[in-house]
């Protein structure tokens, strides 16, 4: 993945489902060579901390609208 190869420390991908219940944010972290070694998902009701900004927390529900 070009982002990992470029050293981007984290990547969030918004994946919208056919209904709001299927919406999620895919979180990729810890780049190694051409891939990310850590992958997780966040759904409505979850909270994400912005990498590099530990005091900035985003509600996934607010993020997805």
Secondary structure E strands in 1-65:
10-15, 24-32, 35-43, 47-49, 57-59
Domain boundaries, the chain: 2-64
The pLDDT assigned to 1 comes to 77
The pLDDT assigned to 65 comes to 82
User: Looking at the whole model, is its pTM more than 0.95?
Assistant: no
Among residues 25, 27, 21, 24, which one has the least CA distance to residue 3? 27
List of residues 6+ apart from 56 with CB closer than 8 A: 49, 50
Query: Each residue of 8-51: pLDDT tens digit?
Result: 999 999 999 888 889 999 999 999 999 999 999 999 999 999 98
List, in sequence order, every residue forming a beta bridge with 47; answer none if it has no partner.
59
Report whether pLDDT(4) > 80: yes
């Amino acid at each position: 993945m070009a982002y990992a190869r470029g050293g981007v420390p984290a990547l969030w991908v918004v994946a919208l489902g056919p209904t709001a219940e299927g919406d999620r944010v895919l979180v990729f972290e810890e780049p190694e060579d051409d891939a990310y070694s850590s992958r997780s998902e966040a759904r409505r009701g979850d909270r994400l901390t912005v990498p590099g900004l530990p005091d900035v927390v985003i509600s996934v529900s607010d993020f997805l609208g």
